[in-house]
Structure 1
Amino acid sequence: MPDLTGFQRDVLFVIAATEPVKGTKIKAEVEDYYGVEVNHGRLYPNLDELADSGLIEKGERDKRTNEYSLTGRREALLAQRQEWEAERFGEVTA
């Protein structure tokens, strides 16, 4: 996960929660989390980069709509990331 941007990591978590998922759903979920509009010029190049690197699979739902899902490799890395965060969060005191 260290080679990913925070945005790409967040996109992966959205895909993991609802896969397979359309790009418009990913966009809406990330916008809801960030509280700002995410334009197509930011989202889709990142999705293409994640697909080109083998972290997600890009499939065709119909002629106009793509859908995205995680590869097995990415599922394992997301689980490792969650464990790492949980360990760090457990060390934080209020």
Structure 2
Amino acid sequence: MYDLTAFQRDLLYTIAGQDEPHGLAIKDELENYYESEIHHGRLYPNLDTIVDKGLVEKGEVDQRTNYYTLTARGRREIEARREWENQYVGNLLSE
């Protein structure tokens, strides 16, 4: 996960938190979080990158709509990242 951008990491977390979301559902979630518009030219190339890295699988709902789901590797990467984060900020959450 060290080689992902922050945006790609956010995509991964957003996909993890939904049941087979399609691109526009992911876009909506991130727009709410970032409080700004996410352009298709930013969203889809970054989704393709995390698919190419084997972190996410892309499936087809119909000819116009794809869905995304984490792979086993994607889940492991998120777990490893959370463990690493907890080393540094885990204590903040319990205060």
TM-score computed with the length of structure 2 as normaliser: 0.91
1:87, distance to aligned residue in structure 2 (A):
2.0
Gaps of 5+ in 1: none
Residue equivalent to 2:48:
48
CA distance in 2, matches of 1:85, 1:15: 19
Name the residue aligned to 2:31: 31
CA RMSD of aligned residues (A): 1.6
Q: d(CA) in 2 for partners of 1:76 and 1:90? A: 19
Amino acid in the other structure paired with 2:52: D
| Residue type of the alignment partner of 1:79 | E
* Aligned-residue identity in percent: 52
Of 51-60 and 36-45, the range deviating more from structure 2: 51-60
In structure 2, list runs of 5 or more residues that go unmatched. none
The structural deviation recorded for 1:63 is 1.5
- Which residue in 2 is equivalent to 1:72? 72
Deviations 1:25-79 (A, max 9, x none): 0001111111110000000000111111211101001121000001101101101
Q: TM-score, normalised by structure 1?
A: 0.92
> Partners in 1 of 2:85 and 2:3 — Cα distance?
16
